[in-house]
Chains A and B, each alone.
Chain A
């Protein structure tokens, strides 16, 4: 079946512009996660959705970052007034449920470059 998909795959933007990143999880997966991966670094947790609600937004780096999920499906991560430090690969993952042992399936990521 289809895996997690993300769009766009690459995005180049100018500093100060807003960007919207999209994630389509695997159908039926109730849990959805956003991570950020800076060049040469590990993954940094941003936000988690259980269904359409986000119990933990503590990973969002600043109030310029927001995310929403609708219909227990698609999620969008929005970055307002982008800064060069926002340049990274943004990864989305989904899992069937929330448990500690659940496997997370990752999308290919959106590579964001802020000039």
Chain B
């Protein structure tokens, strides 16, 4: 069945460092891919998405490119801030359109 694998955390970075959180997926067909973020004490919210191959999703300085050839959707940010400390979830939804499959989440700590 469909699945999502993302790098284990926690990831600890200093402010202004470059961030990469790896995500790979297994799916039949042509899924849509998502990154969700969960800030401390808050609910899950969509960070960015891409609905077809080679699309780049971006938001708040974060980017991820849908790579069908490597079945990947790695999350990147050029310069992280303390306020980016959160748990990041990679997810996919296939063309059936109702079940979203989530990765286990990667906790990011950013130190001042």
Contact = CB atoms under 8 A, between A and B. Distances in A.
Interface of A: 31, 33, 35, 40-45, 48, 50, 55-56, 59, 91, 93, 98-109
B99 A43 contact: no
B100 A45 contact: yes
- The size bracket of the interface on B is 20 to 34
Contact of B98 (A43, A44, A50): A50
Contacts of A59: 99
B31 A100 contact: yes
Interface of B: 4, 31-32, 36, 42-46, 49, 51, 89, 91, 93-105
B46 A100 contact: no
B99 A42 contact: no
A100 B89 contact: no
Contacts of A45: 99-101
